[in-house]
Amino acid sequence: MANALQQLMRQRLDRQGWSYGEVARRGGIPRSTVHHLATAERLVRMPQPATLEGLSRGLDLPLDTVRRAAAEACGIHLYPASQDAPQSPPDPEVDLLIASVQRLSSDDRRHVAALVESLLERAPKESPSQD
């Protein structure tokens, strides 16, 4: 059974009549990379941001759509950004950290939570700007 990224790529290639080479050329990434992502049984790790950007261009799909399909193919669930949070460029490291915590045991999640609390307490406090 194809993973989410393979399904997305196959649908797009079939709909547009593109080859792996055409997607690679359009996205500025190696054909071998496109072929690997389209045929690998399971992705072991999340592709690099530049690879995802190239694949997004090559498939003519939004980057977020490609990123989510790749994450799902790796067994990672990406959480949508909060509506209240200021818009900032997506950070793949943050996405990966959030998604990875979900795969930990409950004991390990408690350890991670304690570590995060400790790091946040050590961080310099931001003071509100005086306008």
Q: How far is residue 73 CA from its own chain's centroid? A: 10
Which CA distances in Å does 18 have to 24, 33, 54, 64, 88? 10, 15, 15, 21, 33
Share of the chain above pLDDT 70, in %: 73
Give the pLDDT band (50/70/90) at residue 127.
very low
Residue in this structure with the two tokens 């996205």, named with its chain if needed:
27
Confidence of residue 131 (pLDDT cuts 50, 70, 90): very low
How many other β-carbons are positioned within 10 Å of the β-carbon of residue 87? 6
pLDDT score recorded for residue 109: 77
Which DSSP helix (H) or strand (E) runs through 37?
helix 31-39
Q: Are 5 and 69 in contact (CB under 8 A)?
A: yes
Report, as an integer, the average pLDDT of 76-97: 59
pLDDT for 9 beyond 60: yes
Does the domain at residues 1-75 carry the CATH identifier 1.10.260.40? Answer: yes
Ordered by start, the domain boundaries in the chain are 1-75, 89-123
